[in-house]
Structure 1
Amino acid sequence: DMKIAEGKSTYVDFSAESDGKKVRLVSQVESGSYGLSQGWVVEKLMILGLSKSHLSSQIAFQLDGKPFTSSS
């Protein structure tokens, strides 16, 4: 059994789903303060199994349901 120790570890769980038109990526973070204190950031995500129509689509990000950019 894996345990997350506050101040000593960070756990991020990702899941993705598609309705055929949109892809939704969701992340849940436990004890994120440790990762932040270490300067950890997710630089790249790959979602496997997308159709070619998704590859050419515009990508938009939301954080807590609000539009998000790297400058936000």
Structure 2
Amino acid sequence: MQYKRRAGARGRIGAAILLAGSILLGGCINVNAPSEPIVIELNINIRQEVIYRLAEDASNTIEENADIF
């Protein structure tokens, strides 16, 4: 039984050391907001894909309904 008590005591001491270390290191981290806004430039050309899809759909519709057009 004494071995289990020692293991428990060691675990508590280890946890206390980790807790104390995390408290001490917790004050060392500073996070500051940037002075200028963050700008993300996305140069995406979506127009070509949309026109291509519309052209394909239109040609399919015309072929399916040739008597209407």
**Alignment TM-score, normalising by the size of structure 1:** 0.17
Q: Which has the higher contact order (CA 8 A, sep 6+)?
A: 1
Which one has the largest radius of gyration?
Answer: 2
Going by fraction, where is strand more abundant, 1 or 2? Answer: 1
**Alignment TM-score, normalising by the size of structure 2:** 0.17
Going by fraction, where is helix more abundant, 1 or 2? Answer: 2
